[in-house]
Amino acid sequence: MATPLYDRYLSVEKRKRRLVSWARLSVLAAFLLLWELAARWGWIDSMLTSKPSQIVTSFRELVVDGNLFKHVGITSLETLAGIVISMTLGTSIAVLFWWSSFVSKVLEPYIVVLNALPKVALGPIFYIWLGDRYSIYGMAVAISIIVTIIMVESGFREISKTKLKLMESFGATRSQMLRMVLLPASIPHFIATLKVNVGLTLVGVVMGEFLSSKAGLGYLIIYGGQVFQMTLVMVSITMLALLSAILYGFVSLLERMARRRYSPEG
């Protein structure tokens, strides 16, 4: 039974969350208002920085033309494909490293070097190898797969070795330990890796679109900069922010579902 003290605590926590939400909205509204007024009063050159009212107008025009949804859809598809490929390959390689300590010791220095390598330098190589379309997927996977391997493998190492030794003492094979202990216990690490990959893969997609694409939000940003249409650039950046927020929210939903399913009470 809930006590008055506990009810008071819940009420205070709800007020804090509402206050934080209102503060966030207020900061965003104040920033947009200041931006709009600064452009109208001549404090900044709206030709160089655009302004919120112009962005809204340009957004409406792109929606009516149907071009915006086309470019957003292309970038979304490339990002989702990059996340799926990098998570699948990265997790498979991490499992291989866990399965064979010899392979892990041999390849670990290369993983470290690849992680430190600026991935944008690989753009021309992917363009030559994969062409203008698939090089975007190559950039997306190149940026996120190394982080996936490192984070998932680190999660494997944090799993209690006592449980694995106990299963081994009962005659469990490596495959059984992987299926019954390692992978289920690594769900939180998979979710954390997904959260990181949302941003990294989107960065890789946009970088790939900068280099070779003829469609997508990255292409719109480059095109807008070339023809000096900063409003188009700002609309594209805003859509990228919304896309990343939607993807992150989807991963957060998966996290809540996983917690309910794999919690000790469940």
pLDDT digits (tens, 9 = 90+) for 24-74: 889 988 998 998 888 888 888 777 777 888 888 888 877 777 778 888 888
**Which pLDDT value is given to residue 233?**
85
Kindly report the CATH class assigned to 50-262.
mainly alpha
**Which pLDDT value is given to residue 264?**
47
CA distance linking residue 25 with residue 19, whole number of Å: 10
| Residue 97 clears pLDDT 50, i.e. is over it | yes
CA distance linking residue 235 with residue 229, whole number of Å: 10
For the beta carbon of residue 226, count every other beta carbon within 10 angstroms. 8
Q: Given the structure tokens 């944090």, which residue do they identify?
A: 158
CA dihedral sign, ordered 100, 101, 107, 113: positive
Taking residues 200-211, report their average pLDDT.
86
- pLDDT band with cut points at 50, 70 and 90 for residue 263: low
* Chain segment 224-257, per-residue pLDDT in tens: 887 778 888 888 888 888 888 888 888 888 888 8
Give this prediction's pTM.
0.80
From the CA atom positions of the chain, what is the Rg in Å? 24
| Residue 19 clears pLDDT 80, i.e. is over it | yes
Torsion of CA 100, 105, 107, 109, to 10 degrees: 160
CA distance linking residue 240 with residue 204, whole number of Å: 13
The size of the chain, in residues, is 266
